[in-house]
Amino acid sequence: MKAPLFVLVSLLVASAAVYLGSFLLPDSYEVRRSIVVNARPEQVFTYLNNPTEWEKWNVWNKAYDPTMIRLYGGPLTGKGAYQEWNGDKVGMVKVHFTDSTPPTELYYKQLTKGEDFETIGIFSLEPLEEGTQVVWQQRSKVAGDPYNKYRGFFKKLKTEQETEQSLLSLKALFDPVAKEESKAQLANRKGRS
């Protein structure tokens, strides 16, 4: 009789800890990553400012989700341009460019079907002697209930990995050595999974 009671009390304590732990999690998250690309800002910006170029460097592409279908609209580049994609792994996502200042800044909003809040993204490019520093920031709110706070926590971790891999792929477009390093890092990640 004591064992079932112990299990019940343990489950109640664990549930309470998980519930109360959600109050320690933030109601928003930000991911910020940067990389130095061996190219001028104008060259790099071409791949950011045109949504049809994103598949060449963004991890959300046909290699990641073979069922992915992309649609584009608005102007070809800059403010007002948008892309939508739909796939079994990536779901339905729309990215709309809200402001563009070539070749230094691009702002966008990303809305994923099934999520209450949109993600605000910013690319900032700064010329350096050895190329261009690309900084990618993404901010998103999270619904205030415990389930969504934990979901937001894990989404942040996933977004960090996807952002890093996307930036490595962007760098690889301009640097053959970086391309091989990027492939090696991908292989290591898959080996650890």
Long-range pairs of 70-78 with CB within 8 A, sequence gap ≥ 24: 76/50, 76/52, 77/49, 77/50, 78/49, 78/102
The answer on pLDDT for 14 being more than 70 is no
pLDDT at 86: 96
Q: What digits encode the pLDDT tens for the residues 131-156?
A: 999 999 999 998 777 777 777 778 89
Q: What is the pTM of this model?
A: 0.81
- Do 39 and 131 form a contact (C-beta atoms < 8 A)? yes
pLDDT, position 3: 74
Alpha-carbon distance 116 to 148, whole Å?
Answer: 10
The answer to whether 100 and 78 are in contact (CB under 8 A) is yes
- Alpha-carbon distances, residue 171 vs 1, 13, 37, 112 (angstroms): 63, 48, 5, 26
